Amino acid sequence: MITEIRNDADLDKEFIDKKGFVLLELGASWCRPCQVMAPAFKGVEEEFKGEVRLCHIDVDEAEDLAARFAPEGIPTFIFYKDGKELGRIIGYRQKNKFFEDIAKMMK
């Protein structure tokens, strides 16, 4: 399940004092690379057997909130463990490479 982050309250609920892995996507509905990456993003839960929670911020609907993450482009995927950023994946990746990059950050 992908949790939509629309405001500070949503962000606090998903990140403050939360343990475990979170993959946050910054994207937009009109963004073609975001659309192409959508199946891989959704597939993270199954690939990693529920170990990774998925969150999404629409950069148009929550512009100020998204800006705090300083995305260099979209889609930007930010990987967290216990609320600390471990790394970023920016732009399109083939599904297997996307999963490989996430697995490396989990180690």
Burial class (CB in 10 A: 0-12, 13-18, 19+), 88: middle
Q: Which among 31, 36, 38, 86 is annotated as catalytic?
A: 31
Q: Which among 34, 55, 62, 74 is annotated as catalytic?
A: 34
Dihedral sign for Cα atoms in the order 18, 86, 59, 41: negative
Tell me if residue 55 is catalytic: no
Tell me if residue 34 is catalytic: yes
- DSSP letters spanning 4-53: E--SHHHHHHHHTT--SEEEEEEE-TT-HHHHHHHHHHHHHHHHTTT-EE
- The catalytic residues are 31, 34
